Amino acid sequence: MADGTGVAVGAAGMSRQRLAPKTGFARFMRQRSTIAFLMALPLILLIAGLVIYPAFYAIYLSMLNKRMTQFVGLGNFAFLLKRHTFQLVIFQSCLFAITAVILKAFLGFILAHLMHNIPGKNQRIWRGLLLVPWVIPLALSTLSWWWLFDPSYSAFNWILNYFGFKSIPFLGVGWNARIVVIMVNVWFGTPFFMIMYLAALKSVPEQLYEAASIDGAGATQKLLFVTLPMMRNIISITVLFSLIVTFADFDIVRILTAGGPQDMTHLFATYAFSVGIQSGDIPLGASVSLFMFPILAVAAFFVLRGVTRRTKEIAT
């Protein structure tokens, strides 16, 4: 129109069209959850390719015969449970994992408290030194331990002989070898517990300790009623993570003893390698590796349920 109202109406219509909410696919693509999913999609595909697919393929393999030509169901699992060697593997794996995790948690808790009470610069120095066992590649450090315990060239036995004592067969006797592999795992894993517990200690508010001091609480009471309740979730998650990693340990036993003597130090991982790769029975090796799953699933269920319950209690 000559007075310009037509232009104004047209401009208003275009503005309303631009401001109109988008529908369908455009709105879906603009949602934060969609953007987050698309950004995480490469990692999801990587996990699916390297974890989920191999896990289901291992379940499939565990139900085949040795030649992988016939479906046998749970026959491999029944066969394993009847073997004395595999019964030793179950016992040794549980003994190794539970004992090592308890010792790592205990020593890590002590070291974390010692680090927490050291002044700033000195704490960084000691923290860095104590993290060295965890930072060094496990296979490399285990080779050093193998040299220290070697039957022929053991540095420990050389020291014992120097002072007039007899040599000790660290890796040649069943229980000696079991203690050695547990000790090496504790040496390697304790720094992880220390750094996790130290982070948890630093997150405990100082006001709680001050209030406890005003109420007349001593050091033991502060530990039991302030520190431990505030650290329970971190302790539970750290123990669960370490339990999973320790059950799946391979390097220490493989390098130190290769499962000997007399199969008394085999873990699930090393025995699965021995049966599946070295002996050529892939389905039976897959069955051995899958025995860890129900044990760890039960442990994870109870630990995570406790963490969730305590989180809800704190939130309320």
pLDDT per residue, tens digit, the chain (316 aa), is: 445 455 444 544 444 444 445 556 667 666 777 788 888 889 889 988 888 888 889 899 999 988 888 898 889 999 999 999 999 999 999 999 999 999 999 999 999 988 888 877 777 788 788 888 888 888 889 999 998 998 778 888 889 898 988 888 888 888 999 999 999 999 999 999 999 998 888 888 888 888 888 888 888 888 888 888 888 888 888 998 899 889 888 999 999 998 888 889 999 999 999 999 898 899 999 999 888 888 788 888 888 888 888 777 766 6
Classified as helix, coil or strand, 312 is helix
Of all helices (H) and strands (E), which one includes residue 53?
helix 53-61
Give all domains of the chain, ordered by start, each with its CATH number. 83-315 (1.10.3720.10)
Q: How far is CA 261 from CA 53, 254, 258, in A?
A: 35, 12, 8
CA distance 187 to 207: 35
Rg for the chain, CA atoms, rounded: 29
Helix, strand, coil percentages (3-state) for the chain, rounded to 5, are 75, 0, 20
Contacts 24+ apart (CB under 8 A), 138-145: 138/188, 138/251, 138/252, 139/251, 139/255, 141/188, 142/184, 142/251, 142/252, 142/255, 142/256, 143/255, 145/180, 145/184, 145/187, 145/256
Give yes or no for a contact between 265 and 259, defined as CB atoms under 8 angstroms apart.
yes
Strand partners, 254: none
Closest CA to 287 of 53, 72, 93, 88: 72
